[in-house]
Structure 1
Amino acid sequence: MYDLSNQIVLGSTQKTIGLIIVILLMAAFAIAVLVNMRKGRAEVGAEIELAANRKPYMDDDELETKKLDRTLGLGLVALAVIGIALPLYWLAEPGRQVGATEQFAEIAISRGEEIYTVGAQCGACHGPEGVGGVANYTITDPSTGDFVAQVQWKAPSLNNVMYRYTPEQVTYTLNYGRGYSPMPAWGAPGGGPLTSQQLEEIIAYLTSIQLPAEETRIEVQAQLDKSCLADANDNCTIPGGSYKTLGEAIFNLGFSDGFAGGAFACARCHTGGWSAGRPGPPGGGGMGPPLYNGAAIRQFPTAALQEAYVSAYPKMGTSYGVNGWSSGRMGSFGTNPNALDPETSIMSPDQVMLTPAQISAVVAYERSL
């Protein structure tokens, strides 16, 4: 991330200088008007005696010496002012532009926060400041439409959404929602009520509330220690615990206690019913493809290929594994897609969901299903 404070100060200084110059010019104009009015005199005779174009003027000697020198001198002063002021103006212009950009971003964040908290009320499901939460959801039979169950659906945290998704991916989800879940379409292309500008403002707000990398790592590790406490061989050591391996604990991270609304859990997409608290077979498939019965091994002949896929999800329309074709819906869990280019990055490279060791552990579990 870049420190813009110096450039913003330059922009503010230039604005102040410009304001002072305008005030001085206005004052000079007012003084000139007053002086001209004071020089005026009451009518003392016929118009022919008062008309400026009829009264005697300077002779040639005075006109071509004192008057000309004075006029040329004033022109030289004006030229000097222009010659100095313009370079100073343009030297400060980059800072002014950066300051304007920063101000624009602050306004977008403020508007996005208002939409998140009041307008669309995203926080009702995703929690205040995107910490994750739950949403009431009615499950119906897909074939008959009959009522099945009323559940508390895990809504993923959004204070790490830019760790794994690009703004374009987030925009797509906001536009069209998530089928078979409480997440509706919010954007106009999907029939929702929000404009494209409002979606951009929401994303600006979400970007501003992303957690620091170290805080995320500490929280994830604390949760894994609580649910697994893995040994050197990635086997869980908690007596009577729900999980046998570190990979299984990561795969289901947040299922029992709602940590981050399941944002770190692979099962949220790859195990049907997981977010509703009614999980089917582990890795049996949901919004994401199934991983059990050797599906992961058939898709990725080696663990290294699968780890690379989980770490940096390929862009939509690109191939992966064996006959795989990216839909662009899955996030990157080991590489931040918003920190690849230092010149355009909006995140830090260390802001990632999982460490390489954690990705290796969860891939090993998926390949064992």
Structure 2
Amino acid sequence: MESGGGAGFLTTVVVLIALLLPVLVLFEAWRSRRVAIADDAQEATLDPVLSTSGMSRKIVFGMVVLTEAFLLLIAYGANEPFRQAEAKERQKEFAVEAAAHTYVQYCVSCHGVSGKGYLENIGLVGKPLATSALQATDPDEHKANVRMITQTLVNGRNAGAMPAWGVENGGPLNYQMINELTIMITEGRWDAVEALAKDKGVMSPTEAPITDPVAAGKLIVTQGACASCHAVSGTAAKGAVGPALDGIANRKIGGVADFNAANVKKWVANPSSLKPGSSMPPYALKESYLDAIAAYLATLK
């Protein structure tokens, strides 16, 4: 924004110079001629060389016009990249606003208002969408996310657990609507969804109490954010960034803390509290979810 403001100021200055230049040139020409020549002088005296054709004034005028054109061209060139960036940003905002309406209509019932899926409400069947992985800023990762989200929306996945929403598969979403949703998800613009949902009085389904902590913990660990870094044999969790969680109940947590429910909850919520400098990110989960994760991990012996 600061760069755009600087370019706007520069453009304004150049335009003002271009507008004032002919006025200043013509005024100076008139002033110098009136000072040097008597008021009752003839035209030939005023312009003895080219008085009959008026060429001197035409040349001056032509030079002024060329200079103005050059200055305006510079102003346009300096401002164009920022104009395009602002236009792109406006288009993105329009896309996000449209996507929020589509999401509230079709997606809230499974993924929740905040896009956290069953991490927001264990009763929701949708996977978390508001994740750092889907909002990656690396260009290659961003392209991969766009492709994956688009294909998932068009064709569905997980044997129908996520239905196909594309019109080519009988769904209600056309290419533009899917593209808008993809922009909103990869940009992490859940603020737009939350604002619209609040305005329309839409809420995520009421969460039922967790009656089976182990099952709930397994869902969170093997299909949530944990699975992107950790693996658990026989589940969908295939992450290879962090250590496999098989046998975790018989190991030190993070290599430093005894395995128990309290330390598991501390580790998930704030790893650095047990191991300063830990590369594992903190996860702000509900207390009931932390209890469920601890209960499930206790079964991995």
TM-score normalised per structure 1: 0.41
Report the structure, 1 or 2, having the larger strand content. 1
TM-score normalised per structure 2: 0.49
